[in-house]
Amino acid sequence: MIHRYRGPVHFVIFALLVVAFLPGCRKQSSEKEPITGKKYSIYAMMKNGKEYIFQTDSLHSGEINPEKSGARVVPAPLYYELIVRDGQYYSIDRRKSAFVRYKIADGEFVRDTAVAITGFSSVENYNWLSQDSLMILGYDDDARKVRYVKIDVRNLSVTQGTVPVPAPFGNYNWLSIGFSQFLENKLYIGYCYHTYTLDNYTTGDTIYTAILDYPELKPLKTLKDTRSVYPGGVNTRQSHSFVTENGDFYFIACPGIASGNYPQKPTGIFRIQKSHEEIDPAYFFNISASAIKNHGYGFWYVGKGKAIVRTERKGLYTGMKDHYKVPHFDFYLLDLEKQTTSRLPLPLDKGTSRQCVLVEDGKAYITVNSGNEGCYVWVLNPETGALKKGLKFSEDTEYILRLEPLTD
């Protein structure tokens, strides 16, 4: 169940999780009917390694047992690459070169239908072009090209092509797309280059941002910045960028060992101001030099100039072999303009890469896998700083891996 990955950065994480929690593929019989009309989707892994998806209307309170209330994911794992929209679930099956839609049937989360796509071994970044039109970007190692596929999810019709992002050069043999964002009829793509082998990799010292006209995808300019490395990350796994109410675009760069693996560079937040078409040279929120003093990865906007960042805490893990399973992550509330940080008084979290923050109606819902203190959804009011426990998960829950809205 371990396959050749599309890039070096997350291969170790994926392999460790699969080996450590390799679930059986035996089909379970169940009388549970498909669940419809709910507000939220949650993907959880149990301590026995089995994975479940369930849907709920409330995150504020109550207790849930995913194994009893959810649909078993068959085959697992899918938690890194799911795309959720309007109550539907999608991903790319790298082994069968297909875009897949899933469904809940007979108590299991299984493949519904699929359409063939070519040259796509990964999902690096995705964007919804409209309510029903999805665009996915990925690096094709064999062709040494960045590819796109546009999918009409109503009938699974596809259009494919390539994006004129320069191929790896010199000693570099891989490319990672860390963000893709449409701004004023232009497509911004942040990327970096790697040199990797099966057991090691390094990242180049430059962040590249291609600006392309859209929909022609004609290159207009390429921005470069060396203040940090590895812009963003795979956005099916967690958020790394966003656009604020006034049209400014922010992204985080992640040189920590779980992404860029260039730890001597700082984790930093960059800004592209509305209509400026350049990375703001006067703005750099240096997370590693702040009170956080560590590297961070996930980055979520909560409104009114504030964001949440999820950061490592040094000294609690020994390397990638235990990075995912040791509780060592903190959550900080950031003021982007003042460049200030405030640690949220949450238990230490575990799980290297998770879709773990959902923002709705002025509240931030944060899932925490704390180990000894259990798994909860926590509810934060960013305006007042008030924080309280919400939905509780049964004691046999190991990880809450994904939390997302079922409707937009």
2 part of a folded domain: no
3 part of a folded domain: no
Q: For the domain that residue 290 is a member of, what is the CATH number? A: 2.130.10.10
pLDDT of residue 33: 39
Closest CA to 7 of 166, 221, 177: 177
72 part of a folded domain: yes
Is 60 exceeded by the pLDDT of residue 8? Answer: no
Yes or no: say if 84 and 114 are a contact pair by the CB < 8 Å rule: no
Name which of 119-128, 145-154, 271-280 the model is least confident about. Answer: 119-128
Is residue 29 very low, low, confident or very high in pLDDT (cuts 50, 70, 90)? very low
185 part of a folded domain: yes
In total, how many domains does the chain have? Answer: 1
Higher pLDDT, 20 or 183: 183
Higher pLDDT, 343 or 15: 343
pLDDT of residue 31: 33
The mean per-residue pLDDT over the stretch 141-159 comes to: 96
pLDDT of residue 4: 29
The mean per-residue pLDDT over the stretch 30-56 comes to: 81
pLDDT of residue 215: 95
pLDDT of residue 75: 86
pLDDT of residue 138: 95
**Mean pLDDT estimate for the chain:** 90
Is residue 36 very low, low, confident or very high in pLDDT (cuts 50, 70, 90)? low
Is residue 345 very low, low, confident or very high in pLDDT (cuts 50, 70, 90)? very high
Is 90 exceeded by the pLDDT of residue 71? Answer: yes
Is 70 exceeded by the pLDDT of residue 30? Answer: no
Beta strand 71-73 with 108-116 is parallel
404 part of a folded domain: no
The mean per-residue pLDDT over the stretch 5-21 comes to: 37
253 part of a folded domain: yes
Yes or no: say if 96 and 115 are a contact pair by the CB < 8 Å rule: no
Q: Which domain holds residue 302?
A: 11-399
pLDDT of residue 135: 98
20 part of a folded domain: yes
Is 60 exceeded by the pLDDT of residue 6? Answer: no
Query: Which residues fall within 8 angstroms of residue 229, CB to CB, at 6 or more apart?
Result: 192, 203, 204, 205, 206, 207, 253, 255, 260, 262, 265
Q: What three-state secondary structure class fits 56?
A: strand
Query: Which residues fall within 8 angstroms of residue 364, CB to CB, at 6 or more apart?
Result: 300, 302, 308, 357, 358, 379, 380, 382
